[in-house]
Amino acid sequence: MSNEAKHISVLLNECIENLNIKPDGIYVDGTLGLGGHSEQILKRLDTGRLIGIDRDESAIRRTGERLAKYADKMTLVHGNFCDVSQILDELGVDAVDGMLFDLGVSSPQLDEAERGFSYMNDAPLDMRMDTTCGLTAAQWLAQASEPDIARVLRDYGEERFAAKIARAICRTREETPIERTAQLAELIARTVPKNKNDSAQHPATRSFQAIRIQVNGELDELKRALSAAGSLLAPDGVLAVISFHSLEDRIVKRFLDAGAHPDKAVDSRIALPADAFAPALWTDLRRIKPSVEECEANPRARSAVLRTAQRTEALWSESVTDADKRKGGRR
């Protein structure tokens, strides 16, 4: 069975319903993948336009072929969703009616052993979402210091044996390069105390997630993309973000909460008039989990969280959202 046939878009109906597609609207799918969400948006467009972005060249190629019948209202761009401001500027687009970010690694990337994302199959230890640039996971492990490896495993994987695993990696690489997924997975399995293993989870799960996040700069890019979305969405435009682990979801939640409730950023003991606060940037914040039925049909949906918010008419202010300053984006 092909990856296309196996792929099931997570929270598909909930995303489309909350994006409230306008037939003449402009929408951005910042993480195109195989285009499951984009296809449903395109079906609802008349004179509107979809701009699909993905850092994975193979995703752009395959989705372009699969959705070729929508070519007249679809623009696909090989790029990073954190650069959405620059991408839209180059396309002559000033504002959009909706943005979707489906975070993390896609099903095809997990299923293609040669991409090196999974410990389930032996393959080169790559893990790059964009294979045209950047260090591979093997290259990063070869040059990172023991404290840096431990920090990444702890902060990005919430791995309680981070220091122990980092020490084992550094000792092993002194004798032989760590270049294969199976090699790394076996090293971690040997290092983590057997009586401490979570029987429902492979001992390498957290470490593989952490290294992937580090190699692709995922959390920093998410912060930049969120800030860009706030400045590019038209009034009443909707931001929809699907995350698959607590690190991502925490960033999205804090970003939206800060923009929706700017008064909470001020010490409650300080008496200030109501008009002293910046106006709210977001309204109608929602948190949606997959149904039991969806999780049974698609086990990868179990950890998913969809957060949506509607943009107000307030002028964009990055200081209110506590987001990282964008590089080169419009105000």
Q: Does domain 132-215 have CATH number 3.40.50.11260?
A: no
- The answer to whether residues 122 and 261 touch, using CB atoms and an 8 Å cutoff, is no
Q: How many CB atoms lie within 10 A of CB 53?
A: 25
Quick check: helix, strand or coil at residue 38?
helix
Spell out the domain ranges in the chain.
3-108+218-321, 132-215
Q: Write down the pTM of the prediction.
A: 0.87
- Is it true that 3-108+218-321 and 132-215 share their CATH fold? no
The position carrying tokens 């997959």 is 290
- Please give the backbone phi and psi of residue 282, each rounded to the nearest 5 degrees, phi first: -130, 150
Q: Is 327 exposed, middle or buried (0-12, 13-18, 19+ CB in 10 A)?
A: exposed
Architecture of the domain made up of 3-108+218-321: 3-Layer(aba) Sandwich (3.40)
Cross-strand pairs, 21: none
Contacts of 197 (CB under 8 A, 6+ apart): 203
pLDDT tens digit at each of 331 positions of the chain: 344 445 679 999 999 999 999 999 999 999 999 999 999 999 999 999 999 999 999 999 999 999 999 999 999 999 999 999 999 999 999 999 999 999 977 766 666 778 888 898 899 999 999 989 999 999 999 999 999 999 999 999 999 999 999 999 999 999 999 999 999 999 999 999 876 555 568 899 999 999 999 999 999 999 999 999 999 999 999 999 999 999 999 999 999 999 998 877 544 444 445 554 568 899 999 999 999 999 999 988 999 999 999 999 988 865 455 444 433 333 2
